[in-house]
Amino acid sequence: LITSEQLKYVLSYTASAVDELKDELNALDRAIGDGDHGHNMSRGFQLVLKNIDNIKYQSLSEVFVFVGTTLMSSIGGAAGALYGSLFIQTGKSLPSDDKELTLDIFVGAFEQGVGAIKELGHSDVNQKTMLDVIVPVLDLLRTDQKINLSMISDYAKSQSQLTVNMKAEKGRASFLGDRSIGHLDPGARSSQVIISSICKALTLV
């Protein structure tokens, strides 16, 4: 399905994209949070990058768990635990042998990962969080329509924009109440860029 070299390419491409986004994410988080989201995300993905050559590729499952534990231990903040659980739970739900992997099975595992965010965050869609990008993308992957990588990427982008008009009900931004309206959610932006980078990198490998 995907070789370890290709996977390393996808991860390093994504890590660079997150790093380039650092200032923007800090600024978004400064507007409705405490301004650390860019630093948090960049630190996490740089550590993934640093350890990338130590990955002994056995299965996609192990790589997801590796990425999740690395992010969990390094990102900090709410997003660290949430992104960490997403990757760890997705990884644990993937088959241990890539030969058994199909798109349906991948989507099922991703759904378990999204469930882990909801459970840990006591959160769901329409609360102005990363879930407002991740859940619609999961739903798109589940449709019977013919979809391609650029559609997924565009959809993530348009969904992230919808968080601008939402009122935050979770995380620090929720302390602002109605004043959170009118700002793009930093976690929605980081999720969108992670998803778009993965899609883009997959077309380049």
* Interface contacts to ligand ADP, rule CB under 6 A: 29, 33-34, 36-37, 40, 77-79, 82, 117, 121, 123, 129-131, 170-172, 185-188
For the bound state, the minimum distance from the C-beta of residue 156 to ligand ADP, rounded and expressed in Å, comes to 14
Q: What is the largest CA-CA distance in the chain?
A: 50
Q: How far apart are CA 103 and CA 105, in angstroms?
A: 5
Q: How far apart are CA 172 and CA 79, in angstroms?
A: 11
Report the chain's C-alpha Rg in angstroms: 16
The site partner of 78 among Mg ion, ligand ADP, none (C-beta below 5 to 8 Å per kind) is ligand ADP
Closer residue to ligand ADP in complex, CB, 47/55? 47
Q: Judged by CB under 5 A, which of 36, 63, 89, 134 binds Mg ion? A: 36
Q: How far apart are CA 97 and CA 95, in angstroms?
A: 5
The site partner of 131 among Mg ion, ligand ADP, none (C-beta below 5 to 8 Å per kind) is ligand ADP
Which residue's C-beta sits nearest to ligand ADP?
A: 187
Contact 172, 32 (CB under 8 A): yes
Q: In this chain, which stretch among 11-19, 28-36, 62-70, 133-141 interacts with Mg ion, using CB under 5 A?
A: 28-36
For the bound state, the minimum distance from the C-beta of residue 172 to Mg ion, rounded and expressed in Å, comes to 6
Does residue 33 interact with Mg ion by CB under 5 A? yes
Rounded to 5 degrees, φ, ψ at 34 are -115, 10
Does residue 185 interact with Mg ion by CB under 5 A? no
Contact 189, 154 (CB under 8 A): no
